[in-house]
Structure 1
Amino acid sequence: MRISTSGRICLFGEHQDYLGLPVIAAAISRRISIDGTYRNDDQVILHLPDLGIREDFSLRDTFPYVVQRDYFRSTINVLRRKGLVFSRGFECTIHGNIPINSGTSSSSALIVSWAHFLDRMSDNPANYSQKELGEIANAAEVLEFGEPGGMMDHYSTAIGNVIYLESTPEIKVETLTPKLGTFVLGDSLEPKDTLGILARCRFGMEDVIKKVTSFNPQFSIFSTPPEHLTDYRNILSDDELGLLRANVEDRDILLEGKALLSQSAEEAVDQLFDKHFGDLLYRHYKNLRDFKRTSTPKIERMMDAALLAGALGGKINGSGGGGCMFVYAPEKAEEVAAAIEREGGKSYIITVDSGTRIEDANP
C-alpha cells in the first residue's frame, strides 16, 4: 500500500487563524509518501532514509509516549479509540520532497499519510474521508499532546486543492476550484524564528485587542472597518496601531481573495485574474513584512529578484523569520526560480495539487 499527501502554502490569512479569522490555503505538488506492507508479527518498523532514521516499536507498546512528539504512536492510539483494530504490524518506507522545517507542512502531510495508511491497512478499515483524515491527524499531532495549533495544515494537506477554512464560531471548510497557474516556492534555508514571531504576531496582537475592546466593547476584529481604527490612536502606540491595521487589512484582503478565487471560469479573464491575484498576495506580504515583521533581509532579496524576473506577486509562507516564501509565476517560472537561487535560496516550481491519495492499493 502506498499513500501520498501534499504539502501546503497559505495564500491568505497568514498569522490570523489564531485570532479566529479565516484562512485560504493551497496544497502543492511536493509530497510525502508512505509505502508499506504487513508483517507477520506485531512490530511497526518505519524507514526514513531521507533523514537517516529508523523507528520501530510494538503495537502492544504505543502508550505511554516515549518522545515529546511521538506522532506515529499517537496516530495509532487515536484510531484505536475510533474503533480500528490492528492485529498485524507493518514495515514502511517514508520518502518526501517537501522542504522540512520551512512552513510548508511536511509534518502534517506525514501524519495525514500515516493516518490514511493505517486506516486502509487496519483489520476493519473505516475508509475515512479526506476531511476526517485531516481531523484525525490534527488530533494525533496537536490535541494528543496539548499543543497550540489550528486545523489549516491538516485540512489543507488532506483535502488538497484550495480550501477556505473558518474556525469561528465553528469549523467550516469550503473547497475552492480556481484555475491557478504555476508558483515558485523559495526556501531561504534560514531556520525559522517561530517563537520570536509568535511573541509579536500572536501575543502582541492579543494584547492590542484587549486594549481596544476595553476602550470600545463594540470593536470586533471580524467586522470593524479599517477607517474606524484612527479612533484608537490615543490608546495605542504607533507600532501597536500598525499591527492592528495590518490585521484588519489582511482580513479584508482574504475576503477579496476568496471572491476572486470563487469566480467562474467565464468571469476569470486570465491576465486580469493573474495580475489581481498576484497583487493581493503582495499586499498581504507587505503587511507581514512591515508590521508583523515576519520577513528577513534574505527573503526580501529573493522576493525582489523574483518580481524583477517576472513573478506577479507573492508572500512569505508559514510562521516566518526564515523558512519559505513563494511567488505566483504563471509565466517565466524557470526564470523566476533561477533568480531566487541567485539570491541563495533553493527554488521549486510547483502547482496546486490534490490532497491525500492512494498511489498503490496493493497491501
Structure 2
Amino acid sequence: MKISTPGRICLFGEHQDYLGLPVVAAAISRRISIEGGKSSDDMVRLHLPDLNEEEAFLMEEPLPYVKERDYFRSTINVLRRRGFVFGQGFEVNIHGNIPINSGTSSSSALIVTWANFLTQLADNPKELSSKELGEIANEAEVLEFGEPGGMMDHYSTAIGNVIYLESVPKIHVEGLQPKLGAFVLGDSLQPKDTLGILARCRYGMEAIITKVKQVDPTFSIFSTPLAQADDYKAHLSLDELGLLKANLEDRDILIEGKQLMLASQNGTAPHFDQQFGQLLYRHFANLRDHKRTSTDKINRMVEASMNAGALGGKINGSGGG
C-alpha cells in the first residue's frame, strides 16, 4: 500500500490559530509518501533513505517514547486509544520532497500519512475522513507531547487544497477554490526558532489580552475593532501595543482575503492577483515588524522577489529562520 500527503503553506492567519483565530492555508505540490505493508513479526521497520536513516521497534503496548517528538510511536499509541488493534508489525519505505523544518508542515504531513496507512492496515481497518485524520495527527504531534502549536498544519495537510479553518468555538472547515497562480517557495537555509518565536507571539500576546481585559472586560480578539486598540495605550508598552494592533489587523486581513478568494471563485474579482498579493505583503509586514518572526535574510529574499515582479510575499511557518 502507498499513501501520500502534501505539505502546506499558510496564506493568512500566521501565528493566530493558537489564539483561537481562523487561518487560511493551502496544500503544496510537495509530498511525503509511505509505501509498505504488514511484517511477518511484531517489529516495525522504517526505512528513510532520503535521510539515510532506519528505525525499528517492537509493537509494545503502550509504546514508550525514546526521543523528543517520537511521532511514529505516538501515532500508534493514539490510534490504540481510539480502538485500533495491531497484531503485527509493519515494514515501510518513507520518501518525501517537503523541506524539513522549513515551515511547510513536513512533520504533520508525515503523521497524517502514517495514521492513514496504519488505520487501513490495522486488524480492524477503517477508512477515516480527512478531518478525522487531521484530528489524530494533531493529537499525536501536539497534545501527546505538550507542544504549543495549533491545528492548522494537521487539517490543511489532511484535507488538501485551500481551506479556511476555525477552531473556536468548535472546529469548522470550509474548502475554498480560488483561482490562484503559482507560488515560489524559497528556503533561507536558516534554522528556525519555533519555541523562541512562540514565547513572544503566543505567550506574549496572551499576556497582552489578559492585561487589556483587566481594564476592558468587553475586549475580544475576535471582534474588537482595530481602531479601538489605541484606547489601551496607557496600559501597554509601545511594543505590546504594536503586537496587539498587528494581531487585530492580521485578523481583518484574513477576513478580507477570504472574501477576495470567494469573489475569485465567482468571477467577480478582476484584479484578484494584485489584491491578493497586497494582502499577503501586509500580513508579512506585521509578521516582520511586530511579531518579529522574520530574519534579515528572509526580508531580503521577500524584497528581492517583489523587485523581480512578484505580486506579494510573506514568511511562512513559525519563523526565526
User: How far 1:79 moved relative to its partner?
Assistant: 1.6
Contact 2:177–2:265 under 8 Å retained in 1: no
Give me the whole-angstrom Cα distance separating, in 1, the residues matched to 2:259 and 2:282. Answer: 16
SS at match of 2:123: coil
For structure 1, list consecutive stretches of 5 or more residues without a partner in the other structure.
323-363
Q: Distance in 2 between matches of 1:203 and 1:60?
A: 37
**Paired residues of 2:260 and 2:269 also in contact (CA < 8 A):** no
In structure 2, distance between residues paired with 1:236 and 1:70? 40
Equivalent pairs counted in the alignment come to 321
Give distance in 2, aligned partners of 1:96 and 1:149: 23
2:146 pairs with 1:146: yes
Residues 1:185 and 2:185 are matched in the alignment: yes
Structure 1 residue 40, shift from structure 2 partner: 1.5
- Counterpart of 1:2, as a letter, is K
Q: Distance in 2 between matches of 1:88 and 1:212?
A: 55
Equivalent pairs: percent with the same residue? 72
1:115 aligns with 2:115: yes
Q: Note the C-alpha offset of 1:264.
A: 5.2
Moved over 4 A (4+): none
Q: Does the Cα contact within 8 Å between 1:62 and 1:74 map onto a contact in 2?
A: no
**What code does the residue aligned with 2:58 have?**
S
Q: 1:294: which partner in 2?
A: 293
For the structure 1 residues 76 and 32, does the alpha-carbon distance in structure 2 shift closer, same or farther, using more than 3 Å as the test? same
Distance 1:38 1:48 in 2: 17
SS at match of 1:128: coil
Q: Over aligned residue pairs, what C-alpha RMSD do you find?
A: 1.4
Q: 2: CA distance between counterparts of 1:313 and 1:181? A: 12
Q: Does 1:243 align with 2:222?
A: no
The corresponding residue for 1:18 is: 18
**TM-score using structure 1 length:** 0.85
CA distance in 1, matches of 2:70, 2:239: 40
**Distance in 2 between residues matched to 1:221 and 1:21, nearest whole Å:** 8
The amino acid of 1:317's aligned partner reads N
Deviations, residues 250-304 of structure 1 (Å, cap 9, x unaligned):
000000011111225343445x011111110000000111111111110011101
Q: C-alpha separation between the residues in 1 aligned to 2:67 and 2:235?
A: 46
Corresponding residue for residue 252 of structure 1:
252
Amino acid corresponding to residue 301 of structure 1 in structure 2: R
**SS of alignment partner, residue 85 of structure 1:** coil
The CA distance in 2 between the partners of 1:119 and 1:152, in whole Å, is: 22
Instruction: Give CA deviations for 1:317-351 in whole Å, capped at 9, x if unaligned.
Output: 111111xxxxxxxxxxxxxxxxxxxxxxxxxxxxx
In structure 1, C-alpha distance between the alignment counterparts of 2:264 and 2:226, rounded to whole Å: 29
Distance, in Å, in 2 between the alignment partners of 1:66 and 1:198 is 25
Of 180-189 and 80-89, more deviation after overlay is shown by 80-89
Structure with greater strand share of residues: 1
TM-score by length of 2: 0.96
Larger helix proportion, structure 1 or 2?
2
Match of 1:110, as an amino acid?
A: L
- Report the CA distance shift for 1:38/1:254 in structure 2 as closer, same or farther (over 3 A): same
